[in-house]
Amino acid sequence: MMKNRTGWVALLVLGVATLLMVFFVLPRISETGKEAEKPTTTAADTTKDTAAKAETTLAEAGKAAAEKMDRLKADATTAVQGLSALFADGKTPAIEAFTSAKTAARSALSALSALEIPQLPDTTAIDTLKSARDNAAKALALLEALPQDPSAAGTLLGPIEHALKGTMAPAAPATEAPAAATPAAPADQSASMLPRFDVLRVEPDGSTVIAGSAEPGAKLDIVSGDKTVTSVQVEPNGDFVAVLDQPLPPGDHVLALRVTGKDGKTATSEEMATVSVPNSADGKLLAMVTKPGEASRMITLPETVNSETKQSRVAAETAVAEPNDAATPTAPAVKAEIQVSAVEIEGKRIFVAGEAPAASTVRAMADETRIGETKTDATGHFVVEGTIDLPVGSHIITVELLDENGNVKVKASVPFDRPAGDQVSVVAQASGEAGALVPLEQVSFEKQRDALSKAFAILKGLYADGKTPAIEELAAARSATEIGLQSIADFRLPSSTGQALIDFISQATSGAKTALSTLRAVPAGDVQAMGAAVPKLASLIDAILAPAAPAPAVAVQEQSPSRQGTTETATAEPKTITQAPLQESRNSVIIRRGDTLWQISRRVYGQGVRYTTIYLANAKQIANPDKIEPGQIFSVPDEALPNAEELHRKRLHGEKLN
């Protein structure tokens, strides 16, 4: 019985313990485990939330940066296109409009080039932002390099748009390149594929912009000696523009262009750019481009070049001097009361230019057919314009000076042969009167002398103050001087040239041959020998550059009815002045009302900024290049002066064009 009771008690205790375990202990253990798990779960959730928020923030930052980039890029594109639009259809804007548009473009490009790029996980987005910013910086540098004169800036706007669009590769960092890596162009390579300089703009601090043409799509290196200064990708149209990352240091530099084509072949330009950066603010900047067989193209020239003789030579080039005692006596020119200077024909339109007393009335006729009437200006010039069908052949132009009542006081008649063509000009023969034309052969010859003057000034300057030039500099300057001397030695005149001009030019060509022999006697590359020869060369070249002799005057003939065998009475015909026949000229232009040198230069030379060529060829007649008088007759040389744009910049800075 006791044993059974003990067993039942044990079973009861076991049952109670089981119940306690199931209903009390185990549930509490489960709750404790859940409580222990809660902190871990909460931390994980917090981490996920933070990561999500960070990702959202970066995405929003990237989106905001991209939107800002698009907005700034659109603003910059609009501003640059607005600047270019001012030059549409060959127009040249006013300085105020150009400056305003340039300022707007500068502001827009500056904002884009200063774009802040956030830290983004997407490297593609970062690259896009950096590319836009770098392109804007490149475009801004090109914009800042634009000249202040609108007429000189028009042709330089295209590269700015290309740079902003990213179609022009950014400049590569300067690297050292072995000299062997710059081989000369193969002999069979087309010269048209060789790179060439079109623009070389150097500031006194050495900042440099170079533009030109080369093989489309090729890599172009600008090299100085054995060092690659910068590299760009040539655009598909063959143009390139490079802005040097670092200004050229003070001193002398010789730059060349080297292209590497898609086939890996390289070619080096025949042209070399010689640049001399001054050591001080008051120093003189020099930059020129030279090519074997051609005259140097000056970009910036010291003011002291041939200063003692240059002014007198330019004056001789553009004006008719007083006859000297040694000259062959000629009949003095008679100042006619009225005379015809030139006739221009454009289709059926005819323009008759001449001179008469100021504020007088002039009537013009062609073969007794009335052309029209006009008033002379304060200087006595006139242009009569009309419409008349004048066939090819011989004609007579008559101009009549009328009194207050419309009666003819005096008239002048001049015969001429109307050449074939829709646009022809015939001009009066040169005379000693103010405003007469300088023979075009003399103008052409003076251009050759001017080129020689500049080239030799560079050669002479290399030895100034005891300096010893580098071989490359000496070779370029010597080549330019030799070319200048050769061009004068080979100069030929037409058989119709006056004897005085023939004698003058013959003396100069003879001197050029002597100087050329002296120069060629100096061993090539011998710096010391050339330095010793410079004084002798200077003496010979100064003689070549001596002022020109005066042109002979051609007298104006007066003819009255008495020469016809009649007697002059109170009722007789008015006095008639008979001029020598007008001669055809392809290098003359009548200045009409509203004409400017800019317009004429743009029509003849393609760019208005080259007007200085016409100005210097007619300096005696032009008191102010910005205001020319209708009725004047200007000679227009076939080609613009190589430094015409530089002369314009000098004039803008108040310097004399001498």
User: What number does CATH give the domain 439-544?
Assistant: 1.20.120
Residues 6+ apart with CB under 8 A from 238: 213, 214, 215, 216
Residue 176 has pLDDT above 50, yes or no: no
The angle at the Cα of 39, spanning 35 to 43, to the nearest 5 degrees, equals: 155
Q: What are φ and ψ of residue 598, in 5° steps?
A: -60, -50
Please state the length of the chain.
658
Residue 349 CA, chain-centre distance (Å), reads 34
Residue 152 has pLDDT above 80, yes or no: no
Task: For the chain, give the mean pLDDT.
Answer: 73
- Quote the tokens at residue 20: 């306690």
The Cα–Cα gap between 628 and 609 comes to: 16
Residues 6+ apart with CB under 8 A from 528: none
How much is the pLDDT for 363? 94
How far, in Å, are 173, 283, 316, 367, 369 from residue 303 at the CA level? 35, 11, 20, 53, 54
pTM of the model: 0.32
How much is the pLDDT for 460? 87
Do 171 and 245 form a contact (C-beta atoms < 8 A)? yes
| Residue 413: Cβ-neighbour burial (10 angstroms; 0-12, 13-18, 19+) | middle
How much is the pLDDT for 219? 92
Q: How confident is residue 59, by pLDDT bands cut at 50, 70 and 90? A: low
**Model confidence over 602-628: pLDDT tens digits?**
777 777 777 788 888 887 778 777 777
CATH architecture of 334-436+551-590: Sandwich (2.60)
Greatest alpha-carbon span in the chain: 192
The angle at the Cα of 594, spanning 591 to 595, to the nearest 5 degrees, equals: 40
Say which range, 57-66, 110-119, 394-403, has the weakest mean pLDDT. 57-66
- Is domain 175-291 given the CATH code 3.20.20.70 in the classification? no
The Cα–Cα gap between 479 and 68 comes to: 55
Query: 15 versus 544: which is more confidently predicted?
Result: 544
Residue 46 has pLDDT above 70, yes or no: no
Delimit the CATH 2.60.40.10 region(s) of the chain.
175-291, 334-436+551-590
Query: 379 versus 559: which is more confidently predicted?
Result: 379
Residues 6+ apart with CB under 8 A from 375: 359, 360, 361, 362, 382
DSSP 323: P
The residue among 421, 344, 410, 269 whose CA lies nearest residue 634 is 344
Residues 6+ apart with CB under 8 A from 161: 80, 81, 84, 139
**Model confidence over 534-579: pLDDT tens digits?**
999 999 998 888 875 444 433 334 443 333 333 333 335 677 777 8
Query: 24 versus 564: which is more confidently predicted?
Result: 24
The residue among 313, 291, 307 whose CA lies nearest residue 442 is 313
How much is the pLDDT for 115? 77
Q: How confident is residue 419, by pLDDT bands cut at 50, 70 and 90? A: confident
**Model confidence over 258-299: pLDDT tens digits?**
999 888 888 888 888 888 888 876 666 777 776 654 444 544
Average pLDDT over residues 326-344: 59
Coil, helix or strand at residue 611 = helix
Percent of the chain with pLDDT over 90: 9
Residues 6+ apart with CB under 8 A from 247: 203, 205, 206, 207, 208, 277
The Cα–Cα gap between 122 and 127 comes to: 9
Do 259 and 266 form a contact (C-beta atoms < 8 A)? yes
Sort strands 393-402 and 408-418 into parallel, antiparallel or unpaired: antiparallel
**Model confidence over 215-273: pLDDT tens digits?**
888 999 999 877 888 999 888 878 888 888 788 888 888 888 999 988 888 888 888 88
- Quote the tokens at residue 75: 């603003």
How much is the pLDDT for 372? 92
Say which range, 49-53, 85-89, 99-103, 305-309, has the weakest mean pLDDT. 305-309
What is the side-by-side order of every strand in the sheet holding 239-243?
196-202, 208-213, 239-243
Average pLDDT over residues 321-336: 38
The residue among 112, 119, 161 whose CA lies nearest residue 134 is 112
DSSP run (H or E) holding 219: strand 219-224
Average pLDDT over residues 77-101: 77
Say which range, 65-69, 356-360, 444-448, has the weakest mean pLDDT. 444-448
Query: 506 versus 318: which is more confidently predicted?
Result: 506
- Quote the tokens at residue 537: 């060369």
Q: How confident is residue 318, by pLDDT bands cut at 50, 70 and 90? A: very low
How much is the pLDDT for 433? 40
